[in-house]
Amino acid sequence: MPDRNDRPERTFLFGPFRLSTSKRILLEGDRVIRLGGKAIEILIALVERTGELVSKRELVEIAWPDTFVVEANLTVQVAALRRALGEDDNANQYIVNSPGRGYRFVAPIKVLEEERPAVDQPAMQAAHNLPAQLNRLVGRAEALRSMKQKLTDSRLLSIVGPPGVGKTSVALRLAEAMLPQFRHGVWLIDLGSITDASLISSVIASALPIDARSSDVLSGIAAALRYKSLLLVFDNCEHLIDGASAAIGELLRGAGGIKVLTTSREPLRVDGEQVFRLPPLDVPPAGLSLGPKDALGYPAVQLFVERAAAVVNDFELTDANTGFAAQICRELDGNPLAIEVAAARVDAFGVNGLAARIEDRVHLLADARRGTPARHRTIAAALDWSYQLLCERERYVLRCLGIFAGSFTLEAAVSVIPAAEGADTASILADLVCKSLVSVDIGSERTRFRLLEITKAFALAKLVEQSERNELAARLAACVTEMLCRYADGPKQVQTLRDAVQELDNVRGILDWAFSTDSHAQAGVALAAAAVPVWLENSLLTECIAWTTRAIDALDPAIESERNEMVLKAAHGLAVMFTQGMTGQSRDALNRAIELAARLGDRQWELRARLGLIVFQHRRGDFKGALEGTQRIETLVADADEPAALAMTKSAKSASLFFRAEYATALELAREAHEYFRTHSDVSQIGRWGLNHSVYAQCVMARAYWNLGRFDRTVRACLSAHSEAEETGNPTSICQALSWCGVSLFLSLEDLDRAACAIQRFRQVAQDNDIQSYVFSSIGFEGRLLFLRGQIEPAERLLREALSKLSGAQYENVSIPFLGRLAEVLAADDRPEEALLASAECLERTKATEALWLLPDSLRIHGDVLATLQGPDSEPAEAHLREALEVSERQGALGWELKSAESLASFLRQQRRNSEAAAMLERTLGKFTEGFDAAPFRRTKALLDALHDRKPG
């Protein structure tokens, strides 16, 4: 079998399609038909051997090389391919099945030779999460044109109509057509998988490529979308109409560049909403005798013929069956879903027999359900009729599939549905796809299945009717729990955990079921614990808090559940810390997780919880406690066979040592940690540890370089940290890099242009993602920048605002430095008494928190303020300035030493002690080996020249 890379580069033309083997894409006109890798390989294999029978074994080996898969996978892929190729009345003019043997491509083709590109240049992929649309949309061209115009002219369009009328299909095709108009993409948000309106914001967040770390998720999402140009497609809004309306209204008000497309059975009634009522497909009127050609002028008949041809190779409309086909379409009120379901049984009954059975069933259900609208009875009749035609095992499998709230894989279906002797669940699932009862998406590398919402509701009702729901829900809970645990511990953790967002609909559905009664609660506890890495990796922190709270409340003391409690408490503590600040609730949860891990002897989770607590202590300003905690976990890491844990411990310890002013050791550890992460980019850091320790380590490196007086390396390290953070796309990591080692260090270097750019980016990311603590920090940094530019009044206003807002979040390691900056502003504004209060508080809090890294500067600022207040002969001022210099020298903090020496020299100069001042400056400046162009160095050098009464040189 030739390797796919050795194939000749050719383009095959057949019907309206163009298949390129080099680009591995299928086009219908100018539209790309989105097929997954497996489907495109199967199609290429068949087309390259047009007219030949290609065995099922060969096709499986081509699409799944070196992998064992059941034959039903192939059946599903071919069924989806047939739908993708269903361009005209005879869909199976392309691929024909030879039962039990294989498939044959039978259409005429034209071959164009291609030249292999010298450089592989894949087409730019638009940003979206839309499933591949394989079926041709019948009879909706005019509706699509009208809807496109409405959405172009407005910001909110709702497609309204009864069940099964095709609202979702039309919305997805419209969204796909409008992709080029939205620079930041088109994003599908399916509300059909949830029943609780409180989960709407989490579903939105998990569907979008944003990081909303806010206790108010919806406002965080609106902030993240504020400057974006994108289209949000809300599908299945009707059962949560009030919650959906409120959420969509808030998003539209908060993000002026977005547009919204919804599907619902009723309008949202939101200001500015445009409504398009999607009608059924046109059907031939009763009493009108039509030939095949005229009947095909009606979209309902076109749809019926295309779907019938998908299951019967040689099906066509004839004079004999046209009247019956028209009758079927009329009986089903032109409802597309009902027509598809019915047409899928032409192989069993023929058109004539099908018409008789449809009529009987509709009348029967009409009598039995007199209280429901006719259009609802029609779709229910079609589903119930099709359900009764299935064999008992097929009915059972369809009922079982109703337990899935969202999409699912073949492996999950096989695992959840109890096996039966002589019945292959995978094959039955493939048959249900062919019968239009199950939808399949082959647009990605891994095939996923889904029931349409109306079909899912029908199947779940049957499941409840048969008293089978609890058994299936328990099996699904166990299946998803095991799956998520495997994802968290497997290879390529970062990407796997991000992809696992697709499972969250099923997670939410099962958690709702589990926590609805005490008898199932422990299954929910186990599932919530397994879902923790997915919530954390995807920054779904508010949802994480909600479910872990319910799971913790459901813990049963009589049941051995300490391990689950440990995981849940650790996740809860991290999520609360990142959204609500350094609260007692967060600290207590992390400490409880540590206690449980130690009792269970689980070193891995003890490490995770302890690392989380150290981050908490860093933010809270408990630097001594953080260092003690780091030293405690070193003994755990020493014997643990987990290099990632060792690297993260080094990262955390480097930060603790930095805050304790042990800069050389901190720098060495940070370098070692970063080197590990540089070569192990697949390690999940946020999902397992709550923080990107690679960026964290680079921040320590940059800060240590500045304190050690290596100013040139400081700039390079800052830029490297920013670049890595931006590459991750994680807003928290970007803000971390900009806040800790970007904005603050550029300001310390007095590189005001770089600082201004960094502040702008910092504020934008923080505001867009509603990360409040970083928004407050950006305000303070802006105040410092204005002070350095000589704008005293606005600088004071912004610094006071930042301090006021940061106090509630208890970010001591951010607010204490801002307090010192405020003191400098007040002193410069000739208000020394007020400045003294601020500098004294800054120094007191620095000593109270043992923030040794900040001590030299707090001493310097207080000394400068005392000199301003008491004059050049102030002994306390000189004492504080000398202590600042001595502490800097003792720490090896050349960066702080430079600032302290400059302040002390200026003080001594006022007393005409120039020689003493000059000798001190010469000693300090002589220690520098780089950074000679930095503004603080140049200014201090100029002061030295002035003391020697010589021109700067």
pTM: 0.74
Confidence check: pLDDT of 491 > 70: no
Interatomic CA distance for residues 385 and 764, integer angstroms:
56
Interatomic CA distance for residues 325 and 345, integer angstroms:
13
CA 944 to chain centre: 55
Q: Which residues pair with 262 in a beta bridge?
A: 158, 234
Return the SS3 of 302: helix
Closest CA to 383 of 309, 417, 332: 332
Return the SS3 of 190: strand
Which residues in the chain are classed under CATH 3.40.50.300? 140-277
Which residues in the chain are classed under CATH 1.25.40? 846-952
Q: Which two tokens stand for residue 343?
A: 């047409």
Contact 867, 839 (CB under 8 A): no
Provide the 10 A C-beta neighbour count for residue 949: 8
**Residue 701, pLDDT score:** 95
Burial of 499 (0-12, 13-18, 19+ CB in 10 A): middle
Identify residue 718 by its one-letter amino acid code: C
Return the SS3 of 598: helix
DSSP classification of residue 282: P
Q: What is the pLDDT of residues 163-185, one digit of tens each?
A: 888 899 999 999 988 888 898 88
Confidence check: pLDDT of 407 > 60: yes
Confidence check: pLDDT of 370 > 70: no
Interatomic CA distance for residues 673 and 609, integer angstroms:
19
How far is CA 197 from each of CA 140, 237, 243, 532, 859, rounded to the nearest angstrom?
32, 10, 5, 21, 54
CATH 3.90.180.10 fits 11-112, yes or no: no
Which of these CATH numbers, 3.40.50.1980, 1.10.10.10, 1.10.150.120, 3.40.50.740, describes 383-466?
1.10.10.10
Half-sphere exposure of 386 (CA within 13 A, CB side): 30
> How open is the CA angle 352-358-362, to the nearest 5 degrees?
155
pLDDT band at 498 (very low <50, low <70, confident <90, very high): confident
CA 587 to chain centre: 26
Closest CA to 595 of 634, 587, 689, 536: 587
Burial state string for 551-578 with b = 16 or more CB within 10 A and e = fewer than 16: bbebbeeeeebeebbbbbbbbbbbbbbb
Confidence check: pLDDT of 683 > 60: no
Contact 269, 275 (CB under 8 A): no
pLDDT band at 117 (very low <50, low <70, confident <90, very high): very low
Identify residue 304 by its one-letter amino acid code: F
Q: What is the pLDDT of residues 891-916, one digit of tens each?
A: 999 999 999 999 999 999 999 999 99
- Tracing tokens 């009664």 back to the chain, one arrives at 517
Closest CA to 254 of 769, 817, 693: 769
Class of domain 140-277: alpha beta
CATH 1.25.40 fits 846-952, yes or no: yes
Q: Which two tokens stand for residue 688?
A: 């397992």
Which residues in the chain are classed under CATH 1.10.10.10? 11-112, 383-466
Q: Which two tokens stand for residue 883?
A: 């202590």
Confidence check: pLDDT of 607 > 60: yes
Q: What is the pLDDT of residues 858-876, one digit of tens each?
A: 999 999 999 999 998 999 9
Max Cα–Cα distance, the chain, nearest Å: 116
> How open is the CA angle 58-59-65, to the nearest 5 degrees?
85
Q: What is the DSSP string of 535-566?
A: HHHTT-HHHHHHHHHHHHHT--TTS--HHHHH
In this structure, what is the dihedral angle of CA atoms 175, 181, 182, 183, given to the nearest 10 degrees?
Answer: 140
Question: Which of 7-11, 524-528, 611-615, 888-892 has the lowest average pLDDT?
Answer: 7-11
